[in-house]
Chain A
Amino acid sequence: MQRQLPRHANSRPARSRFGGDGLRAWGFLLPALCWTLAFFVLPLAIMAVYSLWQRVGYKVVTDISVQNYTAFFEKSFLYESLINSLEVTVMVTLISILLAYPLAYILAEKVPPRWQRIALILAILPFWTSYVVRSYSWILVLSEGGILSNFLLDIGLTSEPVSFANSRGATVIGFVHFFVMLLTLTIFANLVQLPKNYRRAAADLGAGPIRTFIHIILPLTLPGIMVGAFLTFVLCIGDYITPAILGGKRELLLPQTIMLQIERRSDFPTASALAMILMAVVSVVYAACARWLKLDRM
């Protein structure tokens, strides 16, 4: 979004003056660094160690083993919750991209500039509702006797009140609702940066609108799609609230399984191992998307 800004490599003129003065810089860095080390790195390290311990009875036994990780693949409810999470996340990411891209395109290309701001603000305003409340709102829509059920009764598509809540579909709808807004934003930001000349050049060279889109526009907006898709994947696969409120009890997603270990069973070693597995999955996805996700190019 701030691509025009100068890179930081060019902006260190203070260096000569402060050539020998690394100490002062470290003084400025230290508070943030200590905070990160104490409340981010240390907890992760403790979790990594916990994941190698076991809970026996009500006690944590500090013998090192990979038992929790092998249990993950042996106990089907643990392993299946990861599969469920992956299926839901991939589905959510794809549906959100497919729904968001046309909207971002319309906002960037068809809406007159002075309406763009308003349209964009309107598109992301519900983004700022509390996300606990957002999932609850979908219950109001999807539950038995809710708005959707009522509407279907009114138009005669069903003769009994129906419930769409407490299902995987409801979880996916709740997620897509949130991520359509996010992806519209990242794709829009990318689209408005494309020079208009590219389109004209393609037209001059004989390409129709569809060819121009597939060969010019789409590849150039891939960074916007990938940034949004990566954020969607990370936020979606780690979210507990949406499946907990909308998903029902038939199947659990990985964050729900983790919370179950913490809340009901106080089994921190197993929960830690599951968290490590979740982090590993996210890292693999990050590595796959890394070339589109440079911080200072966003």
Chain B
Amino acid sequence: MAMRNIPALIYSLAIYGFIYLPVAVLVLFSFQESRVPIPPFNGPSLKWYAALMADTRVTDALLNSVIVAFASSAVSVVLGFLAAYALARHKVRFGGVLQALLTAPLTVSYLIIAMGLLITFNNLGIPKSLLTIGIGHVVINMPLCFAIIFSQMGAHQANMERAARDLGAAEWQVILMVSVPLLWPALFAAFFLSVTFSWDEFIIAFLVSRFDVTLPVEIWSMLRTGLNPKTNAVGSFVFLVSVVVVLAADLILFRKKKA
């Protein structure tokens, strides 16, 4: 059954065109031969990608981004999971208030979080580094992990946890051998979302970093030189990485759901 409705088809194509236009232009002109990424296109050439790989500032920033993304996401998932476990499985006084407090950072602009951290780190004399960027990324990602994992903690898992306890499992055994395996899709989704958010985050990384910067901050400083096919190349590369990660995650999660 194909799409029969012609206006619907045209409308969809127009919106998809709008969504993909800048991406297509970005990728196309990353293969530009000349120094300006505007028409006419005179490639294809890979020289801007070669220039990218030879630029240690870019490769360093790339490595920093990967480190910060994985470390901050791991911390976010662990803290988010433990908090979700406590609030979903135990009767805690003021549970509602705590839940609201833990998810509150989701409603505050990254800019404000970034500024608050900057002032706090300045006052406490904590030097700006990859560590401070990571701390900031946990602040924005932990509420997300908590919310995702909390929403997936259903009754049937609780029953299995209780069964494990009745059979003599200690609390850490219940968590590691029952809860975590049962919740693995949620944990994975939370981790993966955190990685992509951290990978892409600019304003916190910009304000609380100094010498070691992440990729978005490095791209931002590249933008100051104006239009440049090298910026297209780094942008296309980032896009490619994200697409691969998203599709891989989708595949893994989708298979898991079927099983």
A and B found bound together: yes
A residues bordering B, Cβ < 8 Å? 2, 5-6, 8, 10-15, 17-19, 21-22, 24-29, 31-33, 35-36, 39-44, 46-47, 50, 99, 102-103, 106-107, 110-112, 119, 121-123, 125-126, 128-134, 136-141, 143, 145-147, 150, 177, 180-181, 234-235, 237-241, 245, 255, 258-259, 262, 268, 271-272, 275, 278-279, 282, 286, 295-296, 298
Pick the residue among A40, A110, A128 that contacts B105 (CB under 8 A).
A40
* Minimum C-beta distance from A134 to chain B (A): 7
A selection of 11 A-B contacts at a CB cut-off of 8 Å is: A5-B151, A22-B92, A25-B91, A29-B87, A31-B78, A32-B82, A46-B123, A137-B235, A143-B38, A147-B25, A282-B108
CB <8 Å contact, A129 and B162: no
B contacts with A: majority SS: helix
Whether B118 and A262, one on each chain, are in contact in the complex, defined by CB atoms closer than 8 angstroms, is: yes
Q: How far in angstroms is the closest Cβ of chain B from A47? A: 5
Question: In the complex the two chains form, what is the Cα distance from A240 to B217 in whole Å?
Answer: 13
**Roughly how many angstroms separate A26 CA and B89 CA in the complex, as a whole number?**
12
Residue from A13, A132, A282 within 8 A of B219 (CB atoms)? A132
Pair B12/A106 contact, Cβ less than 8 Å: yes
Kindly list chain A residues whose C-beta atoms are within 8 Å of the C-beta of B85: 28
Q: Are B119 and A282 in contact (CB under 8 A)?
A: no
Among A47, A103, A150, A282, point to the contact of B15 (Cβ < 8 A). Answer: A103
Residues of chain A within 8 A of B52, CB atoms compared: none
Choice from A28, A32, A137, A262 contacting B102 with Cβ under 8 Å: A32
Shortest beta-carbon distance from B215 to chain A in Å: 7
A24-B90, A28-B85, A129-B242 as given contacts; A39 in contact with B154, CB under 8 Å: no
Contact bitstring B191-202, A, C-beta under 8 A = 1, else 0? 000001001101
How many A-B contacts are there with CB distance less than 8 Å?
287
Considering the complex, give the chain B residue whose CB is closest to the CB of A181. Answer: B19
Contact (Cβ within 8 A) B86 A128: no
Rank and list the top 6 A-B pairs by shortest CB-CB distance, nearest first: A238-B109, A43-B116, A25-B90, A137-B22, A133-B235, A28-B86
Q: Specify which chain A residues have a CB less than 8 angstroms from the CB of B117 in the assembled complex.
A: 39, 43
B11 contacts A by Cβ under 8 Å: yes
**Minimal Cβ-Cβ distance residue in B for A121:** B250
* Residues on B with beta carbons closer than 8 Å to the beta carbon of A19: 91
Contacts A14-B89, A130-B200 given; does A123 touch B16 at CB 8 Å: yes
- Residues in B with CB closer than 8 Å to A286 are 107
Nearest-CB residue, chain B, relative to A262: B115
- The contact string, 1 if C-beta is below 8 Å from chain A, for chain B 7-26, is 01001100110111111011
Tell me the chain B residues, 174-202 only, with Cβ under 8 Å from chain A: 196, 199-200, 202
Inter-chain CA distance A5–B158, complex, in Å, is 14
Q: Measured between alpha carbons, how far is A147 from B22 in the docked complex, in Å?
A: 9
Q: Are B37 and A140 in contact (CB under 8 A)?
A: yes
Q: Which of A27, A103, A130 contacts B11 (CB 8 A)?
A: A103
Question: How far is it, in angstroms, between the C-alpha of A33 and the C-alpha of B101 when the chains are bound?
Answer: 8
A14-B161, A29-B98, A103-B15 known; A279-B108 Cβ under 8 A: yes
Decide if A130 touches B155 in the complex (CB within 8 Å).
Answer: no
